Structure 1
Amino acid sequence: MGRPNNEDSKYTPAQGWQNHEDAAHDDEAPPVYELEAPTVTMPPPGNTGATNDGRIHIDIDSHLTKSLIKLVPKASKQPHDPSRRFTTSGRLNVRLNIVIQVVGSRGDVQPFIALGQELQKHGHRVRLATHDVFESFVLESGLEFYPIGGDPKELMAYMVKNPGLIPSMKSLREGDIQKKRTMIGELLSGCWKSCVEGDAKTGRPFVADAIIANPPSFAHVHCAQALGVPLHLMFTMPWSCTRAFPHPLANFKVGEIDPAVINYVSYGVVEWMTWQGLGDLINKWRYTLDLEPVPNTMGPVLAEALKVPFTYCWSPALVPKPLDWAEHIDVCGFFFRDPPSYTPPPIIDKFIQAGPPPVYIGFGSIVIEDPAKMTSLILEAVRMCGGARAIVSRGWSNLGEGMPDENGDILFIGDCPHEWLFQNVAAVVHHGGAGTAACGLRNGCPTVVVPFFGDQPFWGEMIAAAGAGPHPIPHKSLTASNLAEAISYCLTPEATSAAQNIASQMASEDGVKAAVQSFHANLPLERLQCDILPDQPASWLYKHASIRLSKQAAQILIESAIIDARDISLHETHPISITNQRWDPITSTTSAGVSWVSNLATSSTGIIIDPIAELNRSKGHGSESSSSGAATAGRMALASAKNIGRFNMHVFKGSCVDIPFAAAEGFRAVPRLYGEEVKDHGEVKDWSSGFGVAGKNFAHGIVDGVSDLWKRPYEDGKAEGAAGVAKGVGKGLLGFGSKVASAGIGLVAYPGQGICKSIRHAAKSGTRKRIKVKRLEEGQWLVDQKRNSMDPRVVLERFERLRQEGLAQGNRSIKSGISSQS
């Protein structure tokens, strides 16, 4: 982030740039820190691209930045309400199936193990879905495990070569991008399976009632939408738009535009560039789940637009929650698991006892390109410190390969719990992963961060700002000399005192418990509970009386022949709808038109290309018989026919539904441009709601449009005099035109959109059917497990009482309607 030309100014997350004197009087101001590396080479004006340290340069003159700046909401003078965990009880009596989806290294997985263990204490069933290599790590912690695929070593190696979001030319030449996309596709599929598939070893059924995920898992919101369950994101790195500080992967220089605005925009730029690389892959996968594609304008802002609850697992003593983060965003503290039972090998114990506390050096899951060179550098740096001793973790890069474990004042070790080890060292040198940084600070260890990618520079700067270590040294800039200087600083009394001060503040925090409270506080309790067994989540809705049923309750009723499986439908405890936000009729119709032309082009070229692909596929199999030739011809004809059907469908839907719908929404949104709040007429979900929205939009559009002609000049004139009258006339004319246009077009557009959604819902039912089967399987398993411990008559009696109450309520509603009509 850029620094203004003022030597006395510093940047704080809570207040932006301020001078030293102001900061000294602010007891709640967090440590100052700087995010911009001083050696960054800026790209030419007009570009938004990668700097030489892998972060994203934001050029304030680029078209993307200017467009996003227009969408930044005005700063509120009042802070948002406090996080929901402070305004709700946080108590939850419902026992959920929770899947935690984590993509990353061991350091990314470990905090969620601590979270899962705490969730289990509240009675939840917890499954941690992550890479296959962490299976034993998860199972030994007492959690259920589901493999989602993906090789974290390969992912770490890619991130070291491409620390930002834009790949290097070397990665392009070596085909790393396609490898990463293939891995992401595997992870998306694995994350979905983790929500609905049973345990691979025990066969125990599992269907998720809620999802917790870190953002890089990418599948989270889409899985939650398909299941209709709550989602909660948790991360160690800022990922929500704020004016307080920029995205850790963003870099810019302060200019004429308010730095706080650019801070806010930086998150949109990073998300936009991520979606540009993966959006097509995600939408292709969504198709397999019978979900509609996410519009390109919505993909980068999904979590923000849907107000997905977000918990950040870092200490508020280091980075307090920004004032512009809403109540569904929380900062809870670092996640620490219960220290594992550990007895060190004799060689480690003997080394620690043989002299003064050593320095720990290790890069964990980072895959270093030249481990031998890094090993030599570390050995030289330790020797330059004069009298210092070091424990070096070999890690995934296998530092010190071929060397004996003990080499004078240096000991090479394998895996060793940081919780134990960091209690016995004088300082730590590592890559700056949030988990490792947190463990070092918790134990009062001064810290040197050698960042490689991601949030590692962010944590390095935070530690330096607190005085508990030097400024981070990017791994490409690391030398024996500057590493020796950094270690020497960490061994000073000043650094030790600063680190111990942080440790004392962290001792009063319990991030895991706070995060569970935050998770509970953001659940939709009013839709979550089963009406018959209130300690279980509702999975079904009894169609004839709107009774919410858990998997177990429904299965008992089915087995007792009280209801049939056809009498229940899937209940969504947290429905998610992704709608394209429209800002004006020009951009909305243009966007819809471009999408329409693209769909037509794809389906028309498919008429020719797909049959050729079928022919080439048959040649590849070496088929030469007449029967196989006829089968190939049939597949070619079918492929062509499918694309002809798609072409005709796109012609009709685009011209008669999509473009009119975009125009109606664009005209409806126009008053927002001059500060008027646009009325919400509800969401178009099916044909019925489509006609309902059309009616409301027409009535309000005509009435409000006509009234604007006199209402706007009167109100603005009253406030601003003659100038206000003129301004009001303009607003009135614009409002009249836009609202009446939306009302007229909407009479066709909204019902058409609703009819299309109803048809699609009926045609795309495969995923819903699979979910229904999986929930019935788990219901059967639950009943079998509790057959001897639960009397089914409790369920039958409660259901009959609720059904009678529902029928009576329905009869009263009918009589009331007849009475009102007469």
Structure 2
Amino acid sequence: MPGPLIIHAIGSLGDVAPPILLGRELRLRGHQVRVIAGERYAPLVADAGLEHRPLGIDFEELVPVPSWQVWSDGKGLAHTMRDGWRRLRPALETMLSETDAACIGAQAILSSTLAAVGYHIGESHRIPYASLQMQPWEPTREFPHSMAFSGGWSGGWSGGLTNRLGYTLVDQVLWQLTRSAVNRWRTTSLGLDPLPWYGPANRARRQQIPVLCAFSPHVVTPPDDWGSHVHVTGYWFAEGPTDWEPTPGLVDFLGAGPPPVYVGFGSWQPEDEARVHALACSALRGAGVRGVLQGRSLETSDPHRYGTDMFVVGRIPHEWLFPQTAAVVHHGGAGTTGAGLRAGVPNVVCPFQVDQLFWGTRVAALGAGPRPLPVTHLRADVLGSAISTAVRDPGMRAAAAMLGERLRAERGIERACDVIEDCVRHPVIPGQADH
């Protein structure tokens, strides 16, 4: 009997949930699937009927979320990057060893490009590896790297060489930060040669290791300079009913008036969320709309603490809630943006950092929302104006609805499984014929 397919899922919920759904579909096709993910995601893995191997690292705890004041002062990026790396560095080799142990007897490994762990495991265990990307990581002349995006995309750029060099820069920053620890692990634990200065990303591209992009070609058109090994499959969403049920209070609130506007920033929610909610309530009331606010346990204990026109929820399935809203306000994470666009409602993106400005700019370029509003110096009147536009501009609402129809018609998760099964039948082993 073939060994399990390994899914190495790291990051926050938006990074982990789509690969788990991919594993669920692979299981339904008859494959044995093992998911390596943080302990907090064990219930998600179990609900999908998959085997779970825990990681000792909790990525949501690794990246401390500053206060709203730190973000609005423009110091949030430096704060999170500095403290996140300080916490990750001593735990990196433990994560690598845990992953290696969980891959014994595996048939293939599917892993995030961000970690590049799958490349080393594939080379050591002599099994195929495919890269899972929630945002574009493959070099192109058409647009800058999503993790180093500074705005300006309305469909493409003329600075092709500059764009492409940006991918090399991001690869090198990540590789040089982890190079000593990874090479020590490769030599002492895996029995492999250390990698040179250019790192695993360059080797993987030369070998045309398969890449699965978990976003839609309707949102990011595949550039002409991407090879045939890069597959933009469409978003990975589960079809059919789930066991999750809303509270009666939320159902009553949704039915008691016009569709509300959702405001939530996922794992990027600042620690002083009462201040965030005060800003959000002011913006929502200024736009003349009701609101559903994402909160934590202390906030959700009293859903109407901000008034009868507001309802506070905890983490909630976006695919259930978003279609019942007039618009969604969020941070612009890859998964949340995909869910918002698929719901067919306008998206107001308030990016914090990393790839979020990239997605917010794509939303605006597609006409499915106003231009992104970075949280730095964000004010209630500015957010309220953007919300008002989102719920009342007929062209924007029509564009969002049309895009939602196209995304709901995609079968991204099925296409991704087809690609994976082809990769298993025609394996490309990392490190082979590379020297």
Q: TM-score, normalization: structure 1?
A: 0.49
Match of 1:97 in 2: 4
Match of 1:106 in 2: 13
Report the residue type matching 1:225 in the other structure.
E
For residues 352 and 363 of structure 1, the distance between their equivalents in structure 2, rounded to whole angstroms, comes to: 20
Match of 2:281 in 1: 379
For residues 467 and 522 of structure 1, the distance between their equivalents in structure 2, rounded to whole angstroms, comes to: 36
Q: Is the 8 A contact 1:156 1:365 kept in 2?
A: no
Match of 1:474 in 2: 374
Give the direction of change, closer, same or farther, for the CA distance of 1:521–1:170 in structure 2 (3 Å limit). closer
Q: CA RMSD in A?
A: 2.8
- Deviation, 1:407, is 2.1
Report the residue type matching 1:242 in the other structure.
T
Report the residue type matching 1:99 in the other structure.
I
1:489 matched to 2:399: no
Report the residue type matching 1:502 in the other structure.
L
Give the direction of change, closer, same or farther, for the CA distance of 1:180–1:382 in structure 2 (3 Å limit). same
Q: 1:508 aligns with which of 409, 416, 423?
A: 409
Count of residues in correspondence between the two structures: 423
Q: Is the 8 A contact 1:243 1:261 kept in 2?
A: yes
For residues 46 and 182 of structure 2, the distance between their equivalents in structure 1, rounded to whole angstroms, comes to: 30
For residues 287 and 405 of structure 2, the distance between their equivalents in structure 1, rounded to whole angstroms, comes to: 29
Report the residue type matching 1:456 in the other structure.
Q
- Deviation, 1:506, is 1.5
Q: Is the 8 A contact 1:99 1:127 kept in 2?
A: yes
Q: 1:263 aligns with which of 158, 163, 182?
A: 163
Give the direction of change, closer, same or farther, for the CA distance of 1:156–1:449 in structure 2 (3 Å limit). farther
Match of 1:136 in 2: 43
Q: Is the 8 A contact 1:148 1:194 kept in 2?
A: no
Q: Is the 8 A contact 1:268 1:300 kept in 2?
A: no
Q: 2:78 aligns with which of 155, 168, 172?
A: 168
Match of 2:224 in 1: 323
Higher Cα radius of gyration: 1
For residues 487 and 252 of structure 1, the distance between their equivalents in structure 2, rounded to whole angstroms, comes to: 23
Give the direction of change, closer, same or farther, for the CA distance of 1:395–1:461 in structure 2 (3 Å limit). farther
1:62-461 map, 5 Å: 96-157=3-64, 168=78, 176-196=84-104, 207-250=105-148, 259-287=159-187, 288-299=189-200, 301-338=202-239, 339-386=241-288, 388-395=289-296, 404-405=304-305, 407-461=307-361
Q: Is the 8 A contact 1:442 1:502 kept in 2?
A: yes
- Deviation, 1:351, is 0.5
- Deviation, 1:179, is 1.4
Give the direction of change, closer, same or farther, for the CA distance of 1:305–1:158 in structure 2 (3 Å limit). farther
Report the residue type matching 1:154 in the other structure.
E
Report the residue type matching 1:264 in the other structure.
R
1:591-602 map, 5 Å: none
For residues 301 and 63 of structure 2, the distance between their equivalents in structure 1, rounded to whole angstroms, comes to: 19
Give the direction of change, closer, same or farther, for the CA distance of 1:187–1:158 in structure 2 (3 Å limit). farther
SS in 1 for 2:11: coil
Give the direction of change, closer, same or farther, for the CA distance of 1:351–1:264 in structure 2 (3 Å limit). same
Q: Is the 8 A contact 1:156 1:366 kept in 2?
A: no
For residues 215 and 198 of structure 2, the distance between their equivalents in structure 1, rounded to whole angstroms, comes to: 31
Match of 1:607 in 2: none
Q: TM-score, normalization: structure 2?
A: 0.89
Q: Is the 8 A contact 2:212 2:233 kept in 1?
A: yes
CA deviation profile, 1:89-113 (whole Å, cap 9, x unmatched): xxxxx95510100111112111112
- Deviation, 1:135, is 0.4
For residues 509 and 176 of structure 1, the distance between their equivalents in structure 2, rounded to whole angstroms, comes to: 36
Q: Is the 8 A contact 2:273 2:295 kept in 1?
A: no
Report the residue type matching 2:260 in the other structure.
P
Give the direction of change, closer, same or farther, for the CA distance of 1:214–1:575 in structure 2 (3 Å limit). closer
For residues 249 and 278 of structure 1, the distance between their equivalents in structure 2, rounded to whole angstroms, comes to: 17
Report the residue type matching 2:144 in the other structure.
P
For residues 79 and 352 of structure 2, the distance between their equivalents in structure 1, rounded to whole angstroms, comes to: 18
Report the residue type matching 2:429 in the other structure.
H
For residues 215 and 417 of structure 2, the distance between their equivalents in structure 1, rounded to whole angstroms, comes to: 14
SS in 1 for 2:103: helix
For residues 415 and 298 of structure 1, the distance between their equivalents in structure 2, rounded to whole angstroms, comes to: 37
For residues 282 and 167 of structure 1, the distance between their equivalents in structure 2, rounded to whole angstroms, comes to: 25
For residues 390 and 290 of structure 2, the distance between their equivalents in structure 1, rounded to whole angstroms, comes to: 13
Stretches of structure 2 that go unaligned for 5 or more consecutive residues are: none
Give the direction of change, closer, same or farther, for the CA distance of 1:575–1:500 in structure 2 (3 Å limit). closer
Higher relative contact order (CA 8 A, sep 6+): 2
For residues 401 and 292 of structure 1, the distance between their equivalents in structure 2, rounded to whole angstroms, comes to: 54
Q: Whose helix fraction is larger, Structure 1's or Structure 2's?
A: 1
